[in-house]
Structure 1
Amino acid sequence: MFRRILSWAAAFAAILSVTVAFAPAASAADTEAIAKSAGQKWVLKSEATGKYVSTEINDTGNQWAKLRARSDKPGAWERFTLHTDDEGKTVSLRFEASGYFASTEIEDGGTHDGMLRARGANIGSWERFTLVPKGDGKYALLGQAEDMYVSAEVNDTGSDYGLLRARSKTVGSWERFTLEKAGAAGIQEGVKDSGAAVPPVAGPAASSTAQVMSWNVCGNINTDSPCNGGKPIGKDALAAGINDRIEKAASYPDVIFFQEFCEKHAKPVELALEDKGPYQWDVRFAPVTYNVDGTGLKAHKECMDADGYDRGAYGVAIAVPDENSWYQAYELPSPETYVNNKGVTRKAEQRAAICASVPSQAAMYCSAHFSTGGKDWDDPKREWQPKQAAMLMEKADQSGYRPVFGGDLNVSPPARGFSVLTPMYDRYQECDEKNGVYDGDDTKDGEKIDYIFSPYTFAACSVQTYVGLSDHYSIHGAVQLPPK
């Protein structure tokens, strides 16, 4: 709401010929948090100009961050990620250079009416576009604010050449754009330093005990959620809640698996861990996505708006010591749709996992969040959870590395009548496994659905039976890594 008021004020100021200044970029904390994300990045190429769409972040005042199809090659000013707050019906484009969403300036009233600028702080109607396929990888962008297609203004020969405006009722060459993946192979998927889709060769490592924690923080909540009283969780509250939980644990963790995590919480959580802990941390994020209607593309699911503050995408995260040299996000096999109890077909979340290496331990750590199984959920017959389990085991068990993995797997153990995790229990030890029985203490609402697995012995395991911000208990395990 505050941003909309600013926009009206900007339009009024323009009428009075008053110069209005806008913030030159997203906050430093948000920018650093976004840099922790492993989401796919894109660039947009105009058919009319033959050039890439660029964010004009060197402009000032009302012209700041306008979008123009004028760049010969893609770089930081041209890259963006696709997001959705309506399960893939529409998409929003968040540009890397400004950290903000492309927004349609429908209140300008002058020659720039409908101009696109990368300055939307959160997603509203001005930031929503329908991707309309036009063949050969080309799309038209239908702005939802006024039901107009985005055009590249190629008839302007001045400083606004190639300016993007949502102002056309039809699609021609000016309205067609090619959507291209950005970055070298693997980079856009989350490789930190190596630039490779596979981790570097693991070196030797001494025996050690790794303290591992896993917690579904319930970051993306709604008004019906029991988490945090049905209110969105702010980054400071989450950071404080994590440290409070760690202080109550038997041992300080070396690695933390997070689920239902908001992208822009990554950096604040990292800083909070460093403030309380014995070493530097690296917190990395991987988005959960939705299939975008009619396109074959995927867009990041957004965390719910918290009082006008966009918290970024929704997904999973992992916290490891800052020595890690490689990490990778994985999209788990997930259903496209499901039918709920009312017979309504719903979109299913495309679930995610994220893995990170810790060289000093020659260890590969992976955090995951499986589809929800059972009646009225996205995997009602539990057909996809076994596929997700198989992929998680495969990605954790990288050659030369000692695997430790887990998270919110959304299914109870075999001892309670569920066979999904039997292959995991057959190959690995589970932190809270009781006397060889495939079971453990409850972690949510009378069920055990949160896990830590490894092929190695757990010296200790505990479940913290208090909730705090989340409706999940956290699980803590001490896994004994043998020499390698």
Structure 2
Amino acid sequence: MQDGSSRRITEGRKMNLGIALRRLCVPLAAAALVLATTTTAMAAPAASKTPSFIDFVQQGTTQRASSNRGACWKMSIRSVETKSYVTNRLEYTGSDETMLTATSPAITNRELFFVCNTDVDTFSIESYVGDYVTTEVDYTGPKKGMLRARNKNIGAWEKYKFTCDTAKICYIKSVGAGKYVTAEYSYTGSGYGMLRARADNVGNWERFYIVEF
């Protein structure tokens, strides 16, 4: 049986041991928290945000090649000359069926397109109904180079290059035709505002606003 003095010594030793253990646990807990936070950060890096279409086009080719390849943007395309939107003429028939014209005053499904990066500096243009825009290189006369949303696959005739400025105004160049896309406002009737890849230089008829969604 311990006397009072022995009990006090024993209790003091237990108290000192408890304090030491608590002091040891604090840095261990902090280290565990740091390790858990670091592991979480390494396992789940923040997802990179796809830049706007204009920003993407204005990047250098090296930067475009290393990031956001295959990205797509939903947009409407609007003529600088008349402020009319490019539309898919589903009601046309024959060789004019699904011709693109810059003639619509408002945006509906026919004025919506998905523009996707196909390689470093070219893009495809897909209509809302799922057909790719084609440059009709083999047409002749005033329809040569007409743009139509009519193909299910992407080849050279379905590829385009965009050059854009900070005002969200772009020139569109057909890879298949090697020409800039023009809105034909000198045409009359059903051909008014027809998009054709036929220009070697750019003016207002070759300038388009990009309206992203």
TM-score w.r.t. the length of structure 1 is 0.29
1:51 aligned residue: 84
Q: Is the 8 A contact 2:162 2:173 kept in 1?
A: yes
Is 1:56–1:67's contact at 8 Å kept on the other side of the alignment?
A: yes
**CA distance in structure 1 between the aligned counterparts of 2:73 and 2:171, rounded to whole angstroms:** 20
Contact 1:49 1:162 in 2 (8 A): no
Secondary structure at the residue paired with 1:111? helix
Partner of residue 372, structure 1: none
Gaps in structure 2 of 5+ consecutive residues: 1-71
Partner Cα separation in structure 2 for residue 162 and residue 146 of structure 1: 19
Q: What is the Cα deviation at residue 164 of structure 1? A: 0.2
1:90 aligns with 2:122: yes
Mapped partners of 1:134, 1:172: distance in 2: 14
> What is the 5 A alignment of 1:258-297?
none
Distance, in Å, in 1 between the alignment partners of 2:163 and 2:151 is 22
- Computing the radius of gyration over CA atoms, which structure comes out larger, 1 or 2? 2
- Cα shift readout 1:1-31 (whole Å, capped 9, x = no counterpart): xxxxxxxxxxxxxxxxxxxxxxxxxxxxxxx
Q: Distance in 2 between matches of 1:101 and 1:160?
A: 20
Aligned to 1:245: none
Matches within 5 A, 1:336-351: none
Give 1:90's aligned amino acid. Answer: T
More helix by share: 2
> Counterpart amino acid of 2:121?
K
Q: 1:74 aligns with which of 107, 117, 125?
A: 107
User: Would the aligned equivalents of 1:104 and 1:166 in 2 still touch at CA under 8 Å?
Assistant: yes
Amino acid at match of 1:95: S
Structure 1 counterpart of 2:159, from 121, 124, 128: 128
1:169 aligns with 2:200: yes
Q: Which runs of 4+ in 1 moved over 4 A?
A: none
User: How many positions carry a matched residue from both structures?
Assistant: 142
Q: CA deviation at 1:61?
A: 1.3
Give 1:66 deviation, angstroms. 0.3
Contact 1:134 1:176 in 2 (8 A): no
Cα distance in 1 between the residues matched to 2:187 and 2:142: 11
Residue segments in structure 1 that go unaligned for 5+ positions in a row: 1-38, 183-484
Deviations for 1:112-142, whole angstroms, at most 9, x for unmatched residues? Answer: 0000000121111101111011441000001
- Distance in 2 (CA, whole Å) between partners of 1:105 and 1:49 is 24
> Which position in structure 1 is the counterpart of 2:172?
141
1:82 to partner: Cα distance: 1.2
Q: Distance in 2 between matches of 1:111 and 1:121?
A: 25
Root-mean-square deviation over aligned CA pairs: 1.2
Q: How much has 1:178 moved relative to structure 2? A: 0.6
CA distance in 1, matches of 2:73, 2:122: 17
Greater RCO, CA 8 A, separation 6+: 2
Match of 2:210 in 1: 179
Question: How far is the alpha carbon of 1:158 from its aligned partner?
Answer: 1.6
What secondary structure, in the 3-state scheme, does the structure 1 residue paired with 2:110 have?
A: coil
The aligned residue for residue 380 of structure 1 is none
- How do 1:217-228 residues align onto structure 2 when only pairs under 5 Å count? none
Q: How do 1:392-403 residues align onto structure 2 when only pairs under 5 Å count?
A: none
The one-letter code sitting in structure 2 at the alignment partner of 1:123 is I
Q: Percent identity?
A: 35
Instruction: Give the deviation of 1:52 after TM superposition.
Output: 0.1
- Selected match of 2:140 from 89, 93, 109: 109
CA distance in 1, matches of 2:73, 2:159: 19
TM-score (norm 2): 0.64
Letter of the 2:133 counterpart: A
3-state secondary structure, aligned to 1:159: helix
**Would the aligned equivalents of 2:73 and 2:116 in 1 still touch at CA under 8 Å?**
no
Question: Is the partner of 1:41 in helix, strand or coil?
Answer: strand
Paired amino acid for 1:125: A
Matches within 5 A, 1:275-424: none
Note the C-alpha offset of 1:147: 1.1
Distance 2:76 2:160 in 1: 16
